A and B are shown apart, each in its own frame.
Chain A
Amino acid sequence: MADTRTVDVSLSTSGMDANGRVVRTPLVVDASGAPVAVAAPPSLESDLDGEHMLLNLGPQHPATHGVLRLVLELDGETVVRCIPHIGYLHCGFEKIGEYRQYNQIIPWTDREDYLNSIGNNVAFALGAERLFGIEITERCTVLRVIAAELSRIASHLVWVGTTCIDIGAFTPFLWAFQERENIYNLLEGWVGARLTTSATRVGGMAADLPDGWVDGLRAFLANFPKTVDEVDRMLTTNAIWVGRTIGLGVLTGAEATNYGLSGPLLRASGVAYDVRKDFPYLGYETYDFDIPVGTNGDVYDRFLVRMEELRQSVRILEQAIARLPDGPLNVDDARVILPPKGKATSEMESMIHHFKQVMEGPRPPLGEAYVAVESPKGEKGYYLVSDGTPKPVRFRIRPPSFVNLSAIPRMVEGHLLSDVIAINASIDIVMGEIDR
């Protein structure tokens, strides 16, 4: 081949092979300058084969939604292996619960899944009430439904907003947080706190609704669907959004069930399991609402499921307002409810009762209870075991985010690094709940 010459190799990149490696073919020309077909040599970057990189994502990374740390083994930009590390926010809630009376545990439940604090209060109170054998009043039941659904909307709004930020959209984040602000204003008017609500008590609620509160909720419900539609218009058919979410982190229904996933993750995979429908509590079986179910089990379907759940929560809230009964808020059960303040300061028996309730705490009978509710993240359960003393012998939180996150290696392996962010966002984790 004396009459051919090789042109500068660096200029002759012809593309990439199936693994994303650059393929370079020396461009060989004959004396007249016409190209000569020669076999491509082995990849010039072959010495990079098998060289994997270890990437430490988190724990202080804004896209890991708290203090999640993922150690990723990367082949180029493809995730070969993902090893999650958790526990950076471990506070020992379950241990502390064994040293607290039942009503004293309620403030701790605020701080697990802090995007759904009032929903956790409701869930824990239901667990404690089953342990005591208490049936709450009609009005309290409906108020707890209102509380749980409002906090579901607030939590899903945070999910939509932060996931938009993760994937690169900013505007829906502002819309979502504006509506969330309205919900927190409503909660502040009701229980006096926005994030750490501590709203329930064993046998009732800390406070009844103030005057005019239901009108405020009606005004919110009239406006809120417009915001959902706006976010829907902005994202659902948006080419960038669809391109960044579709086909990512796919789990089949059988896999998702086996991994113990719950909530929107499980339903996006086509399993119509919702605690509100399958194991009803708080009278959810009497409300008319639908469970959205996805078909592909990818990040896009999880988004669609959560958007539809926002609309269904609005339906439940409208029905709850329409049926909100008058009547007592707290049960008439001297075991758990404090006597009225006027009596406690004027009658000896009531004062002793008040003192014993506060200092010793109510005593449930021997037994155990597992009560699960459908939190925005999935099945949130409280498993309480009593040995007859005022403090539980075991206070177990079944955290949905914890189990959902355990499937992340299965979901991200084989995807690109940038898709890890989208998949992680789609799980909707709250590290306060995972680490407890």
Chain B
Amino acid sequence: MTAPDSVVSPVGETPSAPGPVSPTGVAHRGGPANPSAEAMRVRWPAAVRRVDVVWGETSVVIDPAMLVDIVRWLHDDPEQRYDYLVDVTAVEFRDAQVPLEIVWHLRSLPHRRFLRLKVALVPGSLLEVDSVWSIYRSADWLERECYDMFGIRFRGHPDLRRILMWEQYREGHPLRKDFPLRGRFSRSEQLRQALAANPEAKYSMDELSIADAYEDLPSEMRQRLRAGEATGE
């Protein structure tokens, strides 16, 4: 790592001196928090680990064990009504000591509020967290993408498999910091695999369970499936 990219840990930082302030008065740190953060502190005192306000956006770091309960409460409570899941993603810092964060962006359309929920997974812990699919259908693909890119397993997701990378992809999870920009395999190996692949003849076992479709497959593919490959190519 070169000198300009030296890492400043963002966790546990409580700057004593006032940070920068934008000309219209939005503070870098601090400022009025989303009222939902206070309500969460009251309702879930044990689960709320930290509340940050950065550039006017409220982030609440919560206990992963209570995630689904809290999100369901945020979704159902008439004072909160966070009915819109904007995004599910993760952040891995360049410093391997800093916990990997999983981030949910929620919006309350009736109350016009925006809330960021976070779960911090300390280094060495299992990359697993509960799925919010049962509350928001939009979590389906967003959690699949997060799994594909970071390798985080969402417990309770009905169909957790790769979405952007192909299912036979073996190089790992591309957005992890230990994944090199050019991939793990050599250029020639990547090229060889790309040329050997037939992207249109790829079905998951779920699709192949349709019996008649199985008969329509090329015989070579049927042989490989019989030999135990999980997906056809």
A243 at the interface (CB under 8 A from B): no
Q: How far is the CA of A212 from the CA of B87 in the complex (A)?
A: 42
Closest B residue to A129 by CB, please name it. Answer: B22
A352 at the interface (CB under 8 A from B): no
A398 contacts across to B, CB distance below 8 A? 86-87, 105
| A417 CB, min distance to chain B CBs, angstroms | 15
Contact status B138-A260, CB under 8 Å: yes
| A93 CB, min distance to chain B CBs, angstroms | 11
A21 at the interface (CB under 8 A from B): no
Against B, the Cβ 8 Å flags (1 = close, 0 = not) of A396-408 are 1010001101110
B103 contacts across to A, CB distance below 8 A? 383
Contact status B5-A406, CB under 8 Å: no
The binding surface of chain B is classed by DSSP as loop
Q: Which of B5, B24, B92, B105 contacts A389 (CB 8 A)?
A: B5
| A15 CB, min distance to chain B CBs, angstroms | 27
B29 contacts across to A, CB distance below 8 A? 367
B94 at the interface (CB under 8 A from A): yes
B114 contacts across to A, CB distance below 8 A? 279, 370
Q: How far is the CA of A297 from the CA of B136 in the complex (A)?
A: 19
Q: How far is the CA of A394 from the CA of B149 in the complex (A)?
A: 12
Contact status A90-B164, CB under 8 Å: yes
Contact status B166-A87, CB under 8 Å: yes
A77 contacts across to B, CB distance below 8 A? none
A276 at the interface (CB under 8 A from B): no
Which one of B32-40, B43-51, B63-71, B202-210 is at the interface? B202-210
A88 at the interface (CB under 8 A from B): yes
B83 at the interface (CB under 8 A from A): yes
Contact status A94-B213, CB under 8 Å: no
Which one of B13-21, B184-192, B220-228 is at the interface? B13-21
B73 contacts across to A, CB distance below 8 A? none
| B191 CB, min distance to chain A CBs, angstroms | 16
Contact status B4-A389, CB under 8 Å: yes
Contact status B93-A387, CB under 8 Å: yes
Contact status B105-A370, CB under 8 Å: yes
Q: Which of B26, B142, B207 contacts A54 (CB 8 A)?
A: B207
Chain B residues 62-110 with CB under 8 Å of chain A are 83-87, 89, 91-95, 103, 105, 109
Contact status A366-B213, CB under 8 Å: no
A87 contacts across to B, CB distance below 8 A? 162-166
20 cross-chain CB contacts under 8 A: A52-B212, A54-B212, A56-B200, A88-B199, A133-B21, A133-B28, A260-B86, A260-B142, A273-B84, A278-B112, A370-B116, A379-B86, A383-B87, A383-B103, A388-B8, A389-B94, A394-B92, A403-B142, A406-B141, A406-B142
Which residues does B use to contact A, with CB under 8 Å?
4-10, 13, 19-24, 26, 28-29, 54-55, 57, 59, 83-87, 89, 91-95, 103, 105, 109, 112, 114, 116, 136-138, 140-142, 145, 149, 162-166, 174-175, 179, 181, 199-200, 202-204, 206-207, 210, 212-213, 216
